[in-house]
Amino acid sequence: MSESPVPHEPPIYRRIADGLRARILSGELRDGDRLPGENALMAEHAIARATARQALAVLINEGLAVPKRGSGVYVRLFKPIRRHGSRRLSREQWGQGRSIWDADTRGRTFSVDRVEVTLERAGEEVAAVLESGQVWVRRRRYCVDSRPVQLATSYFPAHLVEGSAITLPDTGPGGVYARLGDLGIPPAHFTEEVRARMPGPRESALLDLPGGTPVMVISRTAYTSGGVPVELNEMVLDSAAYVLQYDFDA
Amino acid sequence: MSESPVPHEPPIYRRIADGLRARILSGELRDGDRLPGENALMAEHAIARATARQALAVLINEGLAVPKRGSGVYVRLFKPIRRHGSRRLSREQWGQGRSIWDADTRGRTFSVDRVEVTLERAGEEVAAVLESGQVWVRRRRYCVDSRPVQLATSYFPAHLVEGSAITLPDTGPGGVYARLGDLGIPPAHFTEEVRARMPGPRESALLDLPGGTPVMVISRTAYTSGGVPVELNEMVLDSAAYVLQYDFDA
């Protein structure tokens, strides 16, 4: 039916990864357990080292395992955070004093650190999006279950938010969107642009990323009902910690 | 204002990357031109090889440059494809004999190859999502401007689509969504789940990915207005070729 048929039998490294994954998900291998090493996999399956490494890389990329330098690969059970695009940003979330993040972290330990709030001259791209040369910038890191999972940098046009709690480390109940509402410029429309790339060294360090883990980058712009841009938020996410979900109608 | 201030001065590798990017975007360096090599960057900026490599890696990750084995790093101008989540899936797109892809590739050369259509027993996950043990599977690869950019595998419940053009290589005008409409089960609601990870070797080969380029994986499920799942589409995207855009209201 095709000139270039694609083989469907999964390659050996993937079958090995499937087996290890099944042992993790069944509970036979637990959080913190050491996985069979490259040598053990080579001997057990009569495969090359590169193949064994590929099998382990599958689990590392899926966020089910983490390599520790010089000591092997360990099970790391961390249920990915389901980040729900539209629902989490709906008015019913931030209209009632709940933070956006709540929707993502039910039942999980959640923290923010490295909060930094500064007034800055906007870079070229930020100035173009926000139509403003001076911006208030909020930088912070999010952790879930003690693991750093996201770096976020939000930019606000200075002339719109000057004097509000958006310029303070603690923005109060409902967070920055509630404060934008107080100012009479609540967000009505959001655009999110999603990309993926490898992290820079600073991102790797702050997110404690194992080698070979990409990041997802979400650039979110919030607009008022009149189309005025009121926030640009650049988020850098550990790709092994997140599933982004977007729902929409035909 | 913070206990752990984050430095804002961009690191040297990033400033070098910024300079090279500016030369590319200004047109001084053109498509196919060779970028300064590691040795040249080391000499010019008095930096270590690892730093020079990081600077080049930034441009490679951004999709502006591509390494060629043993010969250096070359400019590759490829305007990322803006994949518009909600608009491209709106009824006005597929209701009028236009394919979904049209919206993404205006003015660009577009092709599909490696089309393969088979009847298969569903794997565990697919069966769970589609509530069906037998599935028609459509595999294909998308290229834009002759560059492979996406692998896609769509699954359809066999009992719903049997006998329709969905089981043929050419699905006719409007594609599979128009055919689902003909069958009286048009998609009314979509859920997309987005992840990023490193590619497997088969994905690397089929997408012709340079080393260190992650893929984005989109799992899209289409439901009828009655909530019946009619398609699961697993897409694997070259992350350097795409920006995913999602728009939604507060």
Domain ranges across chain A: 12-75, 81-245
CA distance B44 to B63: 24
CA distance B237 to B244: 10
Phi, psi of A221 (to 5 degrees): -115, 130
Asked if B249's CB is within 8 angstroms of A117's CB, the reply is no
Task: Give the mean pLDDT of chain A.
Answer: 85
Identify the pLDDT of residue B93: 56
Those residues whose C-beta lies under 8 Å from the C-beta of residue B32, and which sit 6 or more positions away, are: B74, B75, B76
User: Element (H or E) spanning A136, and its range?
Assistant: strand A134-144
Identify the pLDDT of residue A5: 45
CA distance A139 to A112: 10
Those residues whose C-beta lies under 8 Å from the C-beta of residue A55, and which sit 6 or more positions away, are: A13, A14, A16, A17, A20, A41
Measured between beta carbons, the chain A residues lying within 8 angstroms of B224 are: none
Give the mean model confidence (pLDDT) for residues A134-140.
97
Question: Across chain B, where does the E strand assignment appear?
Answer: 65-68, 72-75, 81-84, 110-121, 134-144, 147-157, 189-197, 215-223, 229-238, 242-249
- The total number of residues written for chain A in this structure: 250
Residue whose tokens read 């087996």: A19
Least confident of A195-199, B108-112, B212-216: B108-112
| Amino acid present at A241 | A
Task: Give the mean pLDDT of chain B.
Answer: 85
Could you tell me the two tokens for B54? 């990081």
Complex prediction ipTM: 0.78
| DSSP code for B53 | H
Those residues whose C-beta lies under 8 Å from the C-beta of residue B100, and which sit 6 or more positions away, are: B88, B89, B93, B94, B175, B177
Fold classified for A12-75 = Arc Repressor Mutant, subunit A (1.10.10)
Asked if A6's CB is within 8 angstroms of B114's CB, the reply is yes
**pLDDT band, residue B180 (cuts 50/70/90):** very high
Angle at the Cα of B2 from the Cα atoms of B1 and B3, rounded to 5 degrees: 135
**pLDDT band, residue A179 (cuts 50/70/90):** very high
Give the mean model confidence (pLDDT) for residues B193-200.
89
Identify the pLDDT of residue B148: 95
CB-based contact (8 Å) between B241 and chain A?
no
Identify the pLDDT of residue B2: 41
**pLDDT band, residue B100 (cuts 50/70/90):** very low
CB-based contact (8 Å) between B125 and chain A?
no
The Cα diameter of chain A in Å comes to 67
Question: Taking 80 as the threshold, does the pLDDT of residue B220 lie above it?
Answer: yes
Residue whose tokens read 């609540």: A186
CATH of domain A81-245: 3.40.1410.10
Residue in chain A closest to B53 (alpha carbons) equals A200
CB-based contact (8 Å) between B2 and chain A?
yes
CA A220 to the chain's CA centroid: 13
Identify the pLDDT of residue B19: 92
CB-based contact (8 Å) between A198 and chain B?
yes
CA distance A15 to B238: 24
Residue in chain A closest to B62 (alpha carbons) equals A197
Q: Over the stretch A47-104, which tens digit does the pLDDT of each residue have?
A: 999 999 999 988 887 778 888 877 899 998 777 788 887 665 444 555 544 544 444 5
CB-based contact (8 Å) between B109 and chain A?
no
More confident residue, A16 or B110: A16
Q: Over the stretch B18-53, which tens digit does the pLDDT of each residue have?
A: 999 888 877 888 888 999 999 999 999 999 999 999
